[in-house]
DNA sequence: AAGAATACTGTCGCAACCGACAGTACCCAC
DNA sequence: GTGGGTACTGTCGGTTGCGACAGTATTCTT
């Protein structure tokens, strides 16, 4: 069966919502798209809480372990572009970037080449996700490969993402109380504890109390970090 | 020139960021993908800028006027799915939906068929965007059409969207240097000045210097406020 | 040659943050 | 009626943020 035919079949299945089994879709992609490695990652929470991420990949375990240990997701320009941008990211664009130097050299030790592609995926509110592939093609065929496959890969990744989102339905967004989100919102607006206490007509100590609860619930350590999460999740109306 | 060749050329151009002219891309799509109509719409959901609606389309003006007048976007199940979902929406899925009954009958008066597709687009912050097409094909070819084109349409719509986002941001987004956004990002990740100085290998004073510049450029008074703006504007990769 | 923009560093000092120790009062569910 | 969640308040003391006073070095433009 040709790859094009595989794509047609997969698409028909996905459109009819008959496929909820993301593992099989992953395998189909692996088999039919000349992939060396692929990964789907969904950061439910921002930096600092790695336990709440949905990661599915075929990269060498040892590599992923090192990647996590060294917090490379914070410096990796590919991950950054993938999580903040809209367009697909060509790994080679960052080949000579100083911030990616270590990453590429580490990757090559595990047989990962720079013929890779990272597709940002659509998330509502609380998350950021991306799908990456490392193709098993020589450099000379790389342009043709990605031009040929990128459309199909993006649409399939979209469906993969959608399915995993549906599966992981349980909402991890911590519920802030009315007061907590109120105080968080004023903090995002640049007010100090004292100012907020005046605005809300409560004591400064109480404002602190709410912010402490907010930080704890969000699993963050500073107010700035809480604000980042709050804006990201749409808790804070700007 | 075959459509496939057109796609290849467009993709090469878009990947090299040579194309900022979204109108031309729109025209190319219109010409080469058998489209009757197409539309790109970006709703900015921010409280501050409620009237910011980026709409670009080839639908009959009279139809769009009626659509707006009757606030159909509030009942239109296709728009709803497009703005809240992840997967592409097939218009026909809602053909027999009561809430879409009026819409479809209105549309048909303007020569708009139900062979349409709406692709949700990725937005950061409180925005939502989608790209829709109405194909100029008979019902019998519709399945083949969308299976054949959906991948290409999604990827091209992604680039169209990205370009329009960039244009929209150039207006008001300041201007942070590499170091400034780097420091802002680490702040949003909950790091203290001292920690950031260790991470970046510069003095703590210099970290403060960059954050002070960032605050001044953004016109805000606290780091938390700067982080809120940064996340909102997509400066900060989470 | 002068000016502007960027990257960087130093010290003083107060305001603000934030953890850890306390509490009180209300409401709702089991 | 006891346990748990929310709303609130107080004090102590160390840490961090941040303004205001300083600078130097490099690069790019006019």
CATH architecture for segment(s) A3-167: 2-Layer Sandwich (3.30)
- What is the CB neighbour count within 10 angstroms for residue B108? 11
Tell me if B3-172 shares its fold with B178-233.
Answer: no
CA of B208 to C1' of D20 (A): 13
Find chain B residues with C-beta within 8 A of A48's C-beta: 189-190
pLDDT category at B173 given cuts 50, 70, 90 is low
In angstroms, what separates the C-alpha of B157 from chain A's closest C-alpha?
A: 10
* Residue B118 C-alpha, separation from nearest chain A C-alpha, in angstroms: 13
Q: What is the pLDDT of residues B3-60, one digit of tens each?
A: 788 888 888 888 876 666 788 888 888 888 989 999 998 876 543 333 467 888 999 9
> Given this model, what pLDDT does residue A94 score?
86
CA angle A79, A85, A87 (to 5 degrees): 105
Longest pairwise C-alpha distance within chain A: 71
Q: Where are the alpha helices (DSSP H) in A33-109?
A: 61-69, 77-84, 98-109
The 10s digit of each residue's pLDDT in B222-237 is: 899 888 888 877 677 6
Per-residue confidence (pLDDT) for residue A49, from 0 to 100: 38
Q: What is the pLDDT of residues A191-206, one digit of tens each?
A: 888 888 888 888 889 9
Query: What residue segments make up the domains of chain A, in order of their start?
Result: 3-167, 178-233
Question: How far apart, in whole angstroms, are the C-alpha atoms of residue B206 and residue B184?
Answer: 13
Is domain A178-233 given the CATH code 1.10.10.10 in the classification?
Answer: yes
Strand C lies under 7 A from the Cβ of residue A197: no
The answer to whether strand D lies under 7 Å from the CB of residue A76 is: no
The domain at B3-172 falls in which architecture? 2-Layer Sandwich (3.30)
Angstroms from B156 CA to nearest CA on chain A = 9
Q: Which nucleotide is nearest to B182 (CA to C1')?
A: C7
Contact list, B200 vs chain A (CB under 8 Å)? none
Name which residue leads in pLDDT, B160 or B70.
B160
For residue range A17-42, what is the model confidence (pLDDT) as tens digits? Answer: 766 678 888 888 888 898 999 999 88
The vertex-A68 CA angle with A219 and A122, nearest 5°, equals 70
Q: Which residue is associated with the tokens 């780097």?
A: B182
Question: Phi-psi category of B94—alpha, beta or left, where left has phi over 0 and alpha has psi -120 to 50?
Answer: alpha
CA distances from B160 to A234, B23, B79, B121, B212 (A): 25, 9, 19, 10, 35
């Amino acid at each position: 069966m040709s790859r094009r035919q595989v794509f047609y079949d997969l698409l028909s299945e996905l459109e009819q919502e008959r496929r909820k089994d993301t593992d099989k879709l992953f395998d189909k992609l692996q088999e039919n798209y000349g992939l060396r490695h692929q990964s789907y990652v969904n950061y439910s929470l921002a930096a600092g809480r790695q336990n709440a991420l949905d990661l599915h990949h075929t990269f060498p375990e040892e590599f992923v372990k090192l990647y996590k240990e060294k917090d490379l997701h914070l410096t990796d320009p590919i991950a950054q572009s993938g999580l903040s941008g809209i367009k697909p990211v060509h790994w080679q664009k960052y080949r000579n970037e100083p911030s990616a130097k270590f990453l590429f050299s580490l990757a090559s030790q595990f047989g990962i080449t720079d013929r890779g592609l990272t597709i940002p995926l659509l998330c509502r509110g609380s998350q950021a996700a991306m799908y990456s592939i490392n193709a098993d093609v020589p450099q000379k065929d790389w342009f043709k490969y990605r031009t040929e496959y990128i459309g199909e890969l993006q649409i399939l990744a979209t469906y993969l993402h959608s399915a995993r989102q549906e599966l992981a339905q349980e909402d991890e967004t911590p519920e802030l109380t009315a007061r907590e989100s109120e105080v968080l919102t004023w903090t995002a607006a640049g007010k100090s504890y004292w100012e907020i206490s005046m605005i809300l007509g409560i004591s400064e100590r109480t404002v602190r109390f709410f912010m402490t609860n907010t930080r704890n619930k969000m699993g963050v350590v500073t107010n700035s970090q809480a604000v980042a999460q709050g804006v990201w999740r749409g808790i804070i109306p700007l």
